[in-house]
Amino acid sequence: METPNAPHSEAPATVAETPADVNQRLVALLQQTADGDRTAFAEFYQLTSRRVYGMARRVLVDAELSEDTTQEVFLQVWQNAAKFDPAAGSPLAWLMTISHRRAVDKVRSAQSATDREARYGASTQDIDHDSVSDEVGSRLEAEAVVRCLGTLTETQQESVRLAYYGGLTYREVAERLNAAVPTIKSRIRDGLIRLKTCLGVS
């Protein structure tokens, strides 16, 4: 089943609504969506799409990939709204879990594609090509990354590894390292700047 066309702008919640009110509203919208109510789905999208995009953007960084992932998440919501169980958690918690998994899967998929291309290139290279120099070059690049990671402070290394190798969000990294979210953002930003400078990447 195709998803209905949902607007891209996010409607502000009513000022008088409490978090409990919003939660009940989202539960009701999901239940209506499970019955095929496109209007309810569009409203659910308006109320939550910014959060989903934000989650995807923190994991994927790339804006276009994040937009694609957001659409995939809401396609999954449209198809699986009936599986939401209010007794198991809030609609937002359910939605953020789907969003994080989808974004991490996207990262893993991209890495797998890169690995496949590398293997294909290695298996189809010209017989006269100097494979030894290629292997040395690859090893030198890997060693350069490891060496440059070593120039980061211990806290920067931990933050960057958890965010970009562990697929965690800023908030999850902050919780893991028992630090404030702004502190983690600053560590990751500064760490990436140092890595780019060390590797000579503009």
The whole-number pLDDT of residue 91 equals: 92
Q: How confident is the model at residue 144 (pLDDT cuts 50, 70, 90)?
A: low
For the residues 112-138, what does the mean pLDDT come to? 45
pTM (2 decimals)?
0.50
**H helical segments located in the chain:** 19-34, 38-60, 63-80, 91-123, 131-149, 154-160, 170-177, 181-199
What structural domains does the chain harbor?
A: 19-106 (1.10.1740.10), 132-199 (1.10.10.10)
pLDDT of residue 43: 94
Given this model, what pLDDT does residue 25 score? Answer: 93
Q: Which has more confidence, 22 or 123?
A: 22
Both tokens of 184, joined, read: 């983690």
From residue 13, alpha-carbon distances to 19, 63, 79, 89 in Å are 10, 25, 25, 21
Instruction: pLDDT band for 14, please (50, 70, 90 cuts).
Output: very low
What would the mean pLDDT of 139-167 be, rounded to a whole number? 73
The more confident residue out of 157 and 164 is: 157
Residue 117 has pLDDT above 70, yes or no: no
Which CA distances in Å does 106 have to 61, 79, 122, 186, 194? 12, 19, 24, 25, 26
CA distance 144 to 193: 15
68: pLDDT strictly greater than 60: yes
Locus of tokens 């630090």: 179
More confident residue, 152 or 180: 180
Residue showing tokens 């308006």: 46
